[in-house]
Amino acid sequence: MPPLRRNSLPSQSPPLAAMEARSVDAIPRGGEWQYEPKWDGFRCLLYRDGGHVDLRSKSGEDLTRYFPELVEAALELKASVFLLDGEIVVPHGKAFSFDDLLQRIHPAASRVRKLSRETPALYLAFDLLATSEHGELSAKPLRERRPLLEQFAKVQFKSNRTFRLSAASTSYATAEKWLARAGGGCDGVIAKRLDLCYQSGNRDGMQKIKNFRSADCVVGGFRYATNKLNGSKVVGSLLLGLYDDRGLLHHVGFSSAIKQQEKPALTARLEALIAKPGFTGNAPGGPSRWSTERSAQWCPLKPKLVVEVAYDHFSGDRFRHGTSILRWRPDKSPNQCTFDQLKQKTADPMKMLA
C-alpha cells in the first residue's frame, strides 16, 4: 500500500490485496483467535481519499459503479481518508438477500440507480487498515486494529446507518452460537489470528467455518443432457476446475443439480464461451479409475465463470461425489479458485480406532 495521503489512490488496483480465508471443519480454540460472523455478501475493500471513493472486491474488481449509495454514504463520513475491509449486504426483511445483491452486477447504470433506491445496501466493517490519523495499520496485529476500528465506528458510523460495525468476540461459546444459528445472511463463523498483521493476499491468518463445506470453482466445461427439452439440447452438468500453484486448471468434479427452468438460458450462456482447451491440467477423460467413454464428451469453456458449490468430501484432488450449486459468483475472479482454499487440518484417523 502506498503512503496514505490525499490523491494517493491507485487508479487501476486496490491499495492492497484482501486477506483470504481457509475453509476448515471446526472452530479453532485458543486465546490467539478472534471470532466474527461470516456474512453472506460481497467482500469489499472500501477506500476514501477526500472526494474519491473506491470499492474493490476480494479479487480486485471495481465495484464502485454498482453501489452508488455506498459511495454517497462514505462521502458523508467525517473522516476524509480511510481504508476499511468489510462486507456489502442487501437487507431483505429480517435477513440479507444474496439474490438482491447479485442483481446489482448489471451493465445498465439506470438499473443500478433504481436498485440502489429500492434495495439499498449496507457496509459491514470488520477491519480498519488505514486512517489519516493513524496512517497505515495493516502491519499492526489484529488485537491493535480491532480497538481502533471500534473507536472509528463509534465516531463515524453514529449518524450514518449505511455503515455498521460487524460483531467480534474472543469467546469460543459465542462462536459456537453463531455457527448454530447460521442462516438469513450469516452462513458461518470467521476465525482470525489476533497476533498477526493483516495477511494481505493469503489465507494464513483467517479461517472460515460453515455448517456445510463449499468451494469456489471455475466452470471449465460442460456436458449436454442426454435428453432434450423442447427439441433443443440443454446443459446437463457443469465441469468444475481449480488452479494449482503453477496456474494449471485441473478438472476436480461436476455439478448436475441445475434447475430445469434455468437450463435453456444457462446453455446459451455456456455456448457463447465454448473454446479450447478448457482445462489446462487434468481434464475429463484423462487417465483415472473414474474415466468412462462419456467422460470424453464434453465442451471446453473459456475460464470466465465462477460458481460456489457445496460438497461432502474432497480427496485425491477431486470431489468424491457430485456437488450442489449454491450460487454464481460474478464478484470473484477465476484465478482465485485454487486448491489452497480446500486445504484443511484433518483428524488423524488412527486415533479414531480402538
Question: Residue type at 65?
Answer: R
Residue 325 CB partners (closer than 8 Å, separation 6+): 238, 255, 257, 258, 307, 308, 309
Please state, in angstroms and as integers, the Cα–Cα distance from residue 17 to each residue in 13, 136, 140, 203, 209, following that order.
Answer: 9, 14, 16, 12, 22
Grid coordinates belonging to 175 = 462462536
Asked if 188 contacts 6 with a C-beta cutoff of 8 angstroms, the reply is: no
Asked if 198 contacts 319 with a C-beta cutoff of 8 angstroms, the reply is: no
List, in sequence order, every residue forming a beta bridge with 325; answer none if it has no partner. Answer: 309
Q: What's the DSSP call for residue 6? A: T
Question: Residue type at 279?
Answer: F
Task: Report whether the peptide linkage leading into residue 147 is cis, meaning its omega lies within 30 degrees of zero.
Answer: no
Q: How far apart are CA 289 and CA 303, in angstroms?
A: 26
Asked if 238 contacts 300 with a C-beta cutoff of 8 angstroms, the reply is: no
**What is the chain's percent helix, strand, coil content, to nearest 5?**
20, 35, 45
List the catalytic residue out of 38, 58, 208, 332. Answer: 38
Q: Which residues of 62-89 are buried (b: 16+ CB within 10 A; e: fewer)?
A: ebbebbbbbbebbeebeeebbbbbbbbb
In 3-state terms, what secondary structure has residue 304? coil
Residue 291 CB partners (closer than 8 Å, separation 6+): 285
Please state, in angstroms and as integers, the Cα–Cα distance from residue 245 to each residue in 129, 248, 281, 329, 335, following that order.
Answer: 28, 7, 11, 22, 11
Tell me, yes or no, if 38 is annotated catalytic: yes
- Active site members: 38
